[in-house]
């Protein structure tokens, strides 16, 4: 459930398909736009050595009712979703009292 708004998840990276080097990623073409109350962040993971585009990263954030919702989709970092309550006490964690 880890959703990266910025950065790279390098544990999944075995090496660049072009130069075969395994090094840090550069982030380029970063953009932020809002659509219907949803923030969408997109950027490219670029090989530090040969500037090959390794993957395109998309991160979204929205508020639905009483929850913050996060999603991430990227060939390098993976796919993830997370939901967090904006209330002090998460209603999903409350036990029913009878």
DSSP the chain: ----SSS--GGG----TTT----PEEEEEEEEEEETTEEEEEEEEEETTT--EEEEEEEEEEEETTEEEEEEEETTTEEEEEEEESSSS-GGGPPP--
Q: In the predicted model, is pLDDT for residue 22 greater than 90?
A: no
Average pLDDT value over all residues in the chain = 84
- Give the per-residue pLDDT at 19: 93
pTM score: 0.76
pLDDT per residue as tens digits for the range 66-93: 888 999 999 888 888 988 887 666 656 6
**Distance in angstroms (rounded) separating the CA atoms of residues 67 and 45:** 29
- Give the per-residue pLDDT at 8: 76
């Amino acid at each position: 459930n880890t959703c990266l708004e910025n950065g790279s998840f390098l544990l999944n990276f075995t090496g660049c398909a072009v130069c075969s080097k395994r090094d840090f990623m550069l982030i380029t073409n970063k953009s932020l736009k809002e659509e219907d109350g949803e923030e969408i962040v997109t950027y490219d993971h670029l090989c530090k050595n040969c500037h090959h585009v390794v993957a395109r990263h998309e991160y979204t954030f929205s508020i639905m009712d009483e929850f913050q919702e996060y999603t991430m989709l990227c060939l390098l970092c993976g796919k993830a979703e997370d939901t967090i309550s904006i209330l002090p006490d998460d209603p999903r964690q409350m036990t029913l009292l009878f």
